[in-house]
Amino acid sequence: MIDLRSDTVTQPTPEMREAMAQAQVGDDVYGEDPTVNELEALAAEMTGQEAGLFVASGTMGNLTAILAHCGRGDEVIMGNKAHTFLFEAGGISALGGVHSHQLPNQADGSLLLEDIAAAIRPDDPHFPVTRLIALENTHNRCGGTYQSPAYIRTVSDFAHQYGLRVHLDGARVFNAAAALGVDVRELTAPVDSVTFCLSKGLCAPVGSVLCGSRAFIARARRIRKMLGGGMRQAGVLAAAGLVALRTMPQRLHEDHRRAQKLADGLRQIPGFQVDEGSPATNMVFGSLSADVPLSDEAFMQAMAAHGVLIHDVAPRRYRFVTHYWIDDRAVEDALAAFRDVLTAA
């Protein structure tokens, strides 16, 4: 099957499985898992932060970070299309009592500085206390778009002037770095904390890393324990993460090239409209034309019958994601399947 639903579907590579089998482990809650410690140190170094914390998922990384930055009733400013706002089960409110203030995401996933400025609360007992600005790079729901080092630095400097902190949901920040052709540090060093996923384009089976200052990570470590995320011999998982961090960031441009090839091919096929400007990175967004007499269900089933797994993100809206297990041949085969299904319809 050619699975274009997400880069979360990536299976671990043989090298990762071998590293997992050979991993030296210990009790990570005691700080004694050498493989977890190595992963956390490498992640911190790569992101230009002081320390790292291995967590079970990107959702846990964002939740842990926001709870470490904010107390109950504090406010976090974020985009109205932020993954944390839309797709993390409201955890920051349910578990942390943190209030979110959503601003309109621009087409590239950014927030306007003037919107942020207007959202910062004055010191008045009517208002929650603004504590944190949360950014997302690449921006998932805005099409896998990326924001520049200059933007990240501008928002961070601005936040710090107001005594606010910045958290970056960098689930796919290595994709942003690859698309920009910059060291990921340029995107992650200016912020106060960053989460990135090992389990998406980097191909590891499980896990994310939260990075920040030593003092911040010490607080986050207690919160991770509170959330049930103290994982004991987690080095088995971290071993795959180390292979991911060492070998995968430098190949992400291949996924971007294949996403472009997929988009170029789709633009030649009547019945499917690729969004203008898509893809920015490894995600092709587009819509099934109104005149195609197929329901979403029928379209997805017909594609599956041709060996291609896709799913809709809204009625007649689709996101196709390229990743390690999608090679040039898979792109060609997927395009042939789209052509067959759409011309038969």
Ligand X SMILES: *Cc1c(COP(=O)(O)O)cnc(C)c1O
Helix, strand, coil in percent for the chain, rounding step 5: 45, 20, 35
Choices 57-65, 184-192, 236-244, 269-277 (CB under 6 A): range interacting with ligand X: 57-65
Among 35, 49, 59, 64, binds ligand X (CB under 6 A): 59
Mask for 75-94, x = binds ligand X (CB under 6 A): --------x-----------
Contact with ligand X (CB under 6 A) among 49, 57, 105, 147: 57
Contact yes or no for 196/170 (Cβ under 8 A):
yes
Q: What is the dihedral of CA 300, 203, 60, 116, to 10 degrees?
A: -80
Among the listed ranges 53-61, 174-182, 272-280, 285-293, the one in contact with ligand X (CB under 6 A) is 53-61
| Residue 188 contacts ligand X per CB under 6 A | no
Q: Which is nearer to ligand X, 202 or 330 (CB)?
A: 202
String of contacts with ligand X for each residue 205-224, x by CB under 6 A: ---x----------------
43 binds ligand X (CB under 6 A): no
Inter-residue contact 51 to 213 (CB < 8 Å):
yes
**Which residues, 107 to 136, sit near ligand X by CB under 6 A?**
136
**CB-based contacts of 163: which residues, under 8 Å, 6+ apart?**
none
Q: Binding string, 166-185, against ligand X, x = CB under 6 A?
A: ---x-x--------------
Would you call 117 exposed, middle or buried from its count of C-beta atoms within 10 A (0-12, 13-18, 19+)? Answer: exposed
- Give min distance, CB of 145 to ligand X, in A: 11
Q: Smallest distance from the beta carbon of 271 to ligand X, in angstroms?
A: 28
For position 140 contacting ligand X by CB under 6 A, the verdict is yes
Name the minimum Å distance from CB 214 to ligand X.
Answer: 24
What type of residue sits at position 57?
S
* Residue 254 CA: distances (Å) to CA of 9, 172, 249: 17, 15, 10
Q: Angle at Cα 53 formed by Cα 14 and Cα 159, nearest 5°?
A: 125
Tell whether residue 197 is a contact of ligand X (CB under 6 A): yes
Residue with Cβ nearer ligand X (55 or 335): 55
- Of the candidates 154, 140, 5, the residue with the CA atom closest to the CA atom of residue 82: 140
Q: Give the residue closest to ligand X by C-beta.
A: 58
Neighbours of 265 (CB within 10 A): 18
Q: Tell me the Cα Rg of the chain.
A: 21
CB 318 within 8 A of CB 312: yes
Q: Which residues of the shown chain bind ligand X in the complex (CB under 6 A)?
A: 57-59, 62, 83, 136, 140, 169, 171, 197, 199, 208
